[in-house]
């Protein structure tokens, strides 16, 4: 397997996406090496990331955050039983409510990294399923980025959890 420099814009975009999700450079290199079949070095990923222009953090509006019904639908144990469903289908991926609830319960009071959450809460083989759950939390603004690697639950989720809704 020859070492590949990152010239393909699609691969570079994947690097940016994985980095924005909080993945470590070593994990990005391993994942992309497996996907492409070529050895992608951590140094080439660092070079691609250093060449990237800083993306300004977009400001979120109230409507961008999940509603109270969304929190209940995803995290509330009683609501889950009432709905008689333990999973959610999203973009052809099954999201498990028990995993989401475990992530919330373990990390709603602190800042956390992707790897901390994965180590503590991933109970299945493979990272792709866990990454889908992480993507869901990021995409719908349940969690937000604090710095390059650290994340936190948004204030609305913290308030909802603190006031005994779960």
pLDDT along the chain (166 residues), means of 10: 67 86 88 87 86 63 70 65 63 80 88 90 76 87 86 84 61
Supply the angle between the helices 97-107 and 68-75 in degrees, to the nearest 10: 110
Instruction: Please state which CATH number belongs to domain 62-162.
Output: 1.10.10
- What is the predicted pLDDT for the residue at 125? 66
- What is the predicted pLDDT for the residue at 166? 43
Q: How many CB atoms lie within 10 A of CB 102?
A: 16
- What is the predicted pLDDT for the residue at 54? 59
For residues 72 and 49, give the distance between their C-alpha atoms in angstroms, rounded to a whole number. 38
Do 12 and 48 contact (CB within 8 A), yes or no? yes
- What is the predicted pLDDT for the residue at 152? 92
- What is the predicted pLDDT for the residue at 7? 76
For residues 105 and 38, give the distance between their C-alpha atoms in angstroms, rounded to a whole number. 39
- What is the predicted pLDDT for the residue at 105? 86
Domain ranges of the chain: 3-51, 62-162
């Amino acid at each position: 397997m020859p070492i590949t420099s990152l010239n393909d814009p699609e691969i570079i975009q994947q690097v940016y996406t994985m980095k924005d999700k909080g993945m470590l450079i070593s994990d990005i290199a391993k994942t992309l090496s497996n996907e492409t079949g070529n050895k992608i070095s951590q140094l080439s990923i660092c070079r691609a990331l250093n060449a990237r222009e800083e993306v300004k953090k977009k400001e979120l509006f109230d409507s961008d955050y999940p509603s109270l019904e969304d929190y209940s639908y995803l995290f509330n144990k009683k609501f889950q039983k009432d709905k008689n469903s333990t999973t959610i289908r999203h973009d052809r991926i099954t999201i498990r409510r028990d995993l989401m609830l475990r992530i919330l319960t373990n990390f709603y009071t602190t800042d956390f990294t992707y790897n901390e959450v994965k180590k503590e809460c991933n109970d299945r083989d493979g990272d792709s399923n866990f990454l889908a759950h992480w993507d869901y939390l990021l995409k719908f603004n349940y969690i937000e980025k604090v710095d390059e690697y650290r994340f936190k639950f948004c204030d609305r989720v913290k308030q909802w959890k603190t006031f005994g809704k779960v």
